[in-house]
């Protein structure tokens, strides 16, 4: 079975500061890794994904994530956040070569303050 742990339920940060949202996963088989963002009263939007290859993945809105196989982590980073980045962020895994089934973490609420 697969599981995803997002280590912080809430992350407050000041505008223009860097931020890291942490994600660890557990799986006995190979997985794909994803970060989604959810703005209030909206669905989920894909920020970035890791399938294979380079462990540093760049996504939309200036976000990037690094896959660390030995630590089973996929942390999301942004060097300088904006007020508009305030949202809920979800880390997810999917079995590689498997069905279209995502296993999500509990989410991290990023609050950017002026």
Q: Write out the residues near other proteins by the rule CB under 8 A.
A: 32, 34, 36, 41-46, 49, 51-52, 90, 94, 96-107
Whichever of 15 and 27 has its CB closer to other proteins, that residue is 27
Contact 37, 88 (CB under 8 A): yes
Whichever of 15 and 104 has its CB closer to other proteins, that residue is 104
Q: Distance between CA atoms of 82 and 32, rounded to whole angstroms? A: 28
Q: How far is the CB of 18 from other proteins (least distance, A)?
A: 26
SS3 102: coil
Centroid of chain to Cα 101: 17
Q: How far is the CB of 80 from other proteins (least distance, A)?
A: 26
Q: How far is the CB of 6 from other proteins (least distance, A)?
A: 10
Whichever of 45 and 61 has its CB closer to other proteins, that residue is 45
């Amino acid at each position: 079975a697969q599981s995803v742990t997002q280590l912080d339920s809430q992350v407050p940060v000041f505008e223009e500061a860097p931020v890291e949202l942490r994600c660890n996963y557990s799986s006995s088989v190979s997985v794909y890794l994803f970060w989604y963002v959810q703005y209030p009263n909206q669905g989920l939007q894909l920020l970035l994904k890791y399938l294979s290859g380079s462990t540093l993945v760049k996504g939309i809105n200036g976000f990037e994530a690094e896959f660390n196989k030995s630590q089973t982590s996929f942390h999301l980073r942004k060097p300088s956040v904006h007020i508009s980045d305030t949202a809920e962020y979800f880390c997810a895994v999917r079995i590689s070569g498997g069905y279209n089934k995502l296993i999500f973490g509990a989410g991290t609420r990023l609050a950017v303050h002026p």
